[in-house]
């Protein structure tokens, strides 16, 4: 880890969709090389928050900095340092895994080798398969590989392992651990407590568009006087977490 320089700064983010306040004054700092877990019930504002950090959605108010860049104003520069895997991948169905990886690699001056990307997400055997023929879990894994194609220094993963089978899930965890060893800064939206406990240095707990707690996973548990992160979640939000898998 490289000390206390925040790689991501989000300050006082607000976002409203019509009459719905999706994000209500969210501030987050993520240190370079740290892994932040974003937890919350359905509709808590997690995706909207990370989309604003990625520059994919304009905040109504507030400020975002990613490695000192503004993701909307410095779009081209940010694309070179930020990898994003969102919940829905919009990819050309007729292209094969290898073609999509080749396409994404072409966007970057020093991309990760194609073989390494395939290995990171376990899609070596599917390289000649068209995107539209992949299973949902394989499509998801491909979108993670594409997010990593440019050796990003910051990665945003929205529901990394939701819907993946246990083997694929463990493989993704290993991939995150490898990125963490490379000092990549990671924001991980998750519904899986085991994943958050294993991978995340800090957790931001969102509820109804607000950060209701920010701490280490162990800190959240002890602050809530709970036995584990599941219990802490319920104690701090008053809600059960609907396990998405
Ligand atoms: N494009 C949109 N138009 C209108 N309302 C939206 C839109 N996107 C999200 N919302 C609403 O904003 C709120 C926050 O949604 P968001 O997707 O950010 O939550 P989330 O925590 O990521 O939820 P989930 O766990 O279900 O993915 C919800 O009430 C949702 O219905």
Q: Residue 25 maps to which CATH number?
A: 3.40.50.300
Q: What is the pLDDT of residue 90?
A: 72
For residue 116, being part of any structural domain is answered with no
For residue 120, being part of any structural domain is answered with no
Interval between CA 52 and ligand 1 midpoint (Å): 13
Q: Are 77 and 94 in contact (CB under 8 A)?
A: no
CA distance 219 to 41: 20
Q: To 10 degrees, what angle do helices 166-181 and 136-147 make?
A: 10
For residue 52, being part of any structural domain is answered with yes
For residue 86, being part of any structural domain is answered with yes
**66 lies in which domain range?**
6-91+154-237
Q: What is the pLDDT of residue 123?
A: 95
Q: Is residue 83 lining ligand 1, measured as CB closer than 6 Å?
A: no
Tell me the ipTM for this assembly: 0.96
Q: What is the pLDDT of residue 71?
A: 94
Interval between CA 137 and ligand 1 midpoint (Å): 22
Q: How many domains in the chain?
A: 1
Q: Are 37 and 229 in contact (CB under 8 A)?
A: no
pTM: 0.92
Give the mean pLDDT per block of 10 residues along the chain (245 residues).
Answer: 75 96 97 96 94 95 96 93 81 91 95 96 96 91 94 93 87 92 95 92 96 95 91 85 50
Q: Are 48 and 23 in contact (CB under 8 A)?
A: yes
For residue 203, being part of any structural domain is answered with yes
For residue 97, being part of any structural domain is answered with no
The CA–CA distances, whole Å, from 194 to 3, 96, 186, 203, 209 equal: 26, 33, 17, 13, 23
Q: What is the pLDDT of residue 160?
A: 81
For residue 83, being part of any structural domain is answered with yes
Q: What is the pLDDT of residue 2?
A: 46
């Amino acid at each position: 880890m490289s000390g206390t320089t925040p790689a991501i700064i989000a300050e006082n983010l607000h976002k409203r969709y019509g009459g719905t306040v999706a994000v209500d004054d969210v501030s987050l700092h993520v240190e370079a090389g740290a892994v932040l877990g974003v937890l919350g019930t359905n509709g808590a504002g997690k995706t909207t928050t990370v989309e604003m950090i990625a520059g994919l959605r304009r905040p109504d108010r507030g400020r975002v900095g990613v490695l000192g860049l503004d993701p909307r104003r410095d779009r081209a520069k940010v694309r070179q340092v930020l990898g994003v895997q969102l919940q829905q991948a919009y990819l050309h169905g007729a292209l094969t895994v290898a073609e999509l990886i080749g396409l994404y690699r072409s966007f970057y001056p020093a991309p990760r080798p194609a073989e390494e990307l395939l290995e990171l997400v376990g899609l070596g055997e599917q390289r000649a398969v068209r995107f539209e023929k992949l299973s949902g879990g394989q499509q998801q894994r491909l979108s993670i590989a594409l997010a990593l194609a440019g050796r990003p220094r910051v990665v945003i993963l929205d529901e990394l392992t939701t819907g993946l089978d246990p083997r694929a899930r463990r493989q993704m965890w290993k991939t995150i651990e490898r990125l963490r060893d490379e000092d990549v800064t990671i924001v991980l939206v998750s519904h899986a407590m085991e994943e958050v406990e294993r991978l995340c240095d800090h957790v931001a707990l969102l509820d109804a568009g607000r950060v209701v707690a920010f701490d280490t996973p162990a800190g959240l548990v002890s602050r809530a006087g709970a036995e584990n992160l599941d219990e802490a979640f319920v104690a701090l939000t008053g809600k059960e977490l609907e396990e998405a898998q």
